[in-house]
């Protein structure tokens, strides 16, 4: 299994991220319940203690992950509660905790949706979050009222938001409502179309961007731009799903027009993602070199991730494997995480550089002190190199 470690690291690479991750709510429990009720969200509670090793590991490697942050910040109200402090002791009177961490998902009425014991990795935690949303899908309730003839703005707005939250198509309902309106520039309708915006390849995207000067004062410039970026990301994802170059180009063009500050990085990354999915080695090679030069040359996490991505998608492509080795070396030179050095060590070993691989594995062991799982892995691979 030549690329066992590299593949393993690629699966877990999302834990190596410079993003801020989950933005935990700082208010009281009562404030969180009110916020969840108003926004029709579920509260995620990390019930932890300061001495719990798995709690610390999850806080460091999962809650800081960009994908986790993007998903949970949009879909949940998140809280961290120390079970040995006053708030935690009070919390346990209603929501018992016997193991750490315990992950609670509680709706705005205070009802437990699900309780999970033990730390999760990034992929499992995202899957858990998605499964929670499927359990609190209110769209069917709103659908029944809608089909019974309720077309009130309040009902339609809730219906559309519930459809979006549950990952269901909302375009038909949203477009039908907007077509029925005489004044699309009212504050209520501006907010509705902004909330209904999901993808860049939609009529609503044009309606929103045409009214940018009216919508920004309602939602704020930063929130507006985040929504634009997410809409373009969803269209890019659709382009990959349907192998559509036209959709990819549309996402890139709209990002350039409506979010120019991030468009260059978005568009280069879009080329990387699309060519990777299409198994276009030449296109991916060109895109990854551009991304490295412009956006990743001094960022070890990005360099590491690109190397692991190459090994995952193009393990037998000689030109890309040469590039992957360069990226792995740069990441190990710039970063001090054991993952970087162990990843580089494995690549060196597979390229018959046994002594260099041993040296990198020893660096990984030293950097892993205090993390038994990583240290054990590094020791295991060092032994493999030394006995070869």
pLDDT in tens, 236-285: 999 999 999 999 999 999 999 999 999 999 999 999 999 999 999 999 99
Active-site residues, by number, are 52, 55
Per DSSP, what are the bridge partners of residue 104? 45, 115
pLDDT at 370: 79
Please give the structure tokens belonging to residue 70: 């993007």
Q: Cα(374)–Cα(61) distance, rounded to whole angstroms?
A: 13
Please give the structure tokens belonging to residue 10: 């690629």
Domain with CATH 1.25.40 in the chain: 1-12+299-388
Superfamily designation of domain 19-136: Glutaredoxin (3.40.30.10)
The DSSP bridge pattern shows strands 76-82 and 42-48 to be parallel
Q: For the domain bounded by 1-12+299-388, which CATH number is listed? A: 1.25.40
pLDDT at 7: 45
pLDDT at 70: 87
pLDDT at 11: 40
pLDDT at 165: 82
Q: Is the pTM of this model over 0.85?
A: no
Domain with CATH 3.40.30.10 in the chain: 19-136
Segments in the chain below pLDDT 70? 1-19
The secondary structure element, H or E, covering residue 115 is: strand 112-117
* Contact yes or no for 338/374 (Cβ under 8 A): yes
Per DSSP, what are the bridge partners of residue 116? 103
pLDDT at 74: 87
């Amino acid at each position: 299994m030549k690329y066992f470690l590299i593949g393993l690291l690629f699966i877990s690479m999302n834990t190596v991220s410079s993003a801020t991750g989950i933005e935990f709510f700082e208010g009281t429990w009562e404030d969180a319940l009110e916020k969840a009720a108003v926004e029709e969200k579920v509260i995620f509670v990390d019930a932890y203690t300061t001495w719990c090793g798995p709690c610390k590991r999850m806080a460091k490697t999962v809650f800081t992950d960009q994908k986790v942050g993007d998903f949970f910040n949009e879909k949940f109200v998140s809280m961290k509660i120390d079970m040995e402090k006053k708030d935690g002791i009070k919390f346990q009177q209603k929501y018992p905790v016997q193991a750490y961490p315990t992950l609670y998902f509680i709706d705005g009425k205070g009802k437990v949706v699900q309780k999970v014991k033990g730390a999760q990795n990034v992929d499992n935690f995202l899957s858990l979050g998605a499964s929670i949303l499927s359990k609190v899908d209110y769209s069917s309730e709103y659908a029944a009222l809608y089909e019974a003839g309720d077309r009130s703005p309040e009902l339609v707005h809730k219906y559309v938001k519930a459809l979006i939250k549950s990952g269901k198509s909302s375009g038909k309902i949203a477009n039908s409502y907007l077509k029925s309106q005489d004044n699309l520039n009212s504050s209520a309708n501006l907010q509705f179309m902004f909330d209904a915006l999901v993808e860049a390849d939609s009529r609503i995207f044009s309606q929103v961007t045409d009214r940018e000067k009216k919508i920004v004062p309602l939602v704020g410039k930063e929130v507006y731009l985040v929504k634009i970026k997410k809409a373009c990301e969803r269209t890019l994802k659709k382009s990959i799903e349907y192998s559509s170059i036209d959709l990819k180009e549309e996402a890139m063009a709209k990002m350039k027009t409506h979010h120019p500050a991030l468009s260059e990085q978005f568009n280069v990354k879009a080329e990387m993602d699309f060519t990777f999915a299409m198994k276009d080695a030449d296109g991916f090679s060109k895109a990854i070199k551009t991304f490295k030069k412009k956006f990743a040359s001094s960022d070890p996490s990005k360099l590491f991730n690109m190397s692991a991505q190459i090994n995952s998608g193009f393990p037998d492509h000689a030109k890309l494997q040469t590039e992957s080795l360069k990226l792995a070396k740069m990441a190990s030179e710039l970063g001090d995480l054991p993952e970087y050095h162990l990843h580089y060590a494995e690549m060196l070993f597979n390229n018959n550089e046994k002594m260099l691989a041993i040296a990198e594995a020893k660096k990984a062991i030293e950097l892993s002190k205090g993390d038994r799982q990583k240290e054990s892995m590094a020791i295991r691979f060092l032994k493999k190199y030394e006995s070869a």
